[in-house]
Amino acid sequence: MTTADAARAAEEFLRNLHNRAPEAMGRYVAAHRLPDGRTSYQFLAERVARARRVLDLGCGDGALLAVLARDGATGLAGVDISEGELAVARRRPELVDADLREARAQELPFAEDSFDAVVCHMALMLMADVEQVIAETARVLRPGGRLAVVVGARSAEGSGLELFLELARPLFAQRPIPPLGDRRTRSRDGLNELLTAAGFASITWEEITLGGSGTPEQVWDNAIEKYYDTTTLAAEEIAALRREFLARAAALTEDGLLTRGERSAVATTRLPASR
């Protein structure tokens, strides 16, 4: 399989997945919050505060754009490859005037210098040909424009998500999904190298812990939606995995609740004020 074929297979996998569950990410983000109650959408939006024209790469169901709208952004746009998620986004009252398009981040349908800021929540790390994505991002940003992305989520030690992965990884290895994204986007050094090569300033890297708690059943539901590999499992495998997870989770619960636990990183940077 060629690189282009692999990229097409990965995009088709993601498109089908998000068309089947267009509001899954929004539910997941709402359940996993910072200790002060903010979501990662809110944390990311604060990194581009006061920007008026903002583009969301991989905008999904529009939840992040809705946060930006409530914060005062007026020239909002989003691209995504999932028709199902875009349909949800278009129903949001905050986004009635937003420019939402089915498009790839590698071929943005916008003119140069169209935006004050670009944001991307857990999508850049899934994209193929990331150098082209970054080049397109630089093209549509105005001089001095900001880029803020959330990348690299991983489970926290002793959390419900860590337990889920411990039990699920052997099954995932038997039926791997198409390779997704470029591993360089998941580390500080890798992402910084990619962005500075395209003319961006060195990144600011902030690690955040998204926590909260839930019943073992709630954490199970979150994990099933979060890990795309679960779509490759047969019904009987998922049922057996659920039984084992709930049995093991009982030993980790406090007052019937289980720590969800996930760590992410938020990278921010700017283009030079003049090109």
| Closest of 165, 150, 122 to residue 260, by C-alpha | 165
**Residue 275 banded pLDDT, cuts 50, 70, 90:** low
Residues 8-23 pLDDT 10s: 999 999 999 999 999 9
Instruction: Give tens-digit pLDDT for 180-192.
Output: 999 999 999 999 9
Per-residue pLDDT tens for 143-171? 999 999 999 767 777 788 899 999 999 99
Q: State residue 32's pLDDT score.
A: 85
Residue ranges of alpha helices (H) inside the chain are 3-20, 24-31, 40-46, 63-70, 83-90, 130-140, 160-174, 188-197, 216-226, 235-249
pTM, rounded to two decimals: 0.93
Report the share of the chain in percent with pLDDT over 90: 79
* Distant-in-sequence, close-in-space partners of 215: CB < 8 Å, separation ≥ 6: 256, 257, 258
In terms of Cα–Cα distance, which of 209, 122, 125, 124 is closest to 162? 209
The pLDDT of 93-122, averaged and rounded, is: 98
Contact 120, 58 (CB under 8 A): yes
For the chain, the first-to-last Cα distance in angstroms comes to: 39
Numbers of helices and strands, H then E, in the chain: 10, 9
Would you say 275 and 139 are in contact if contact means Cβ atoms under 8 Å apart? no
pLDDT digits (tens, 9 = 90+) for 214-245: 899 999 998 998 899 999 999 999 999 999 99
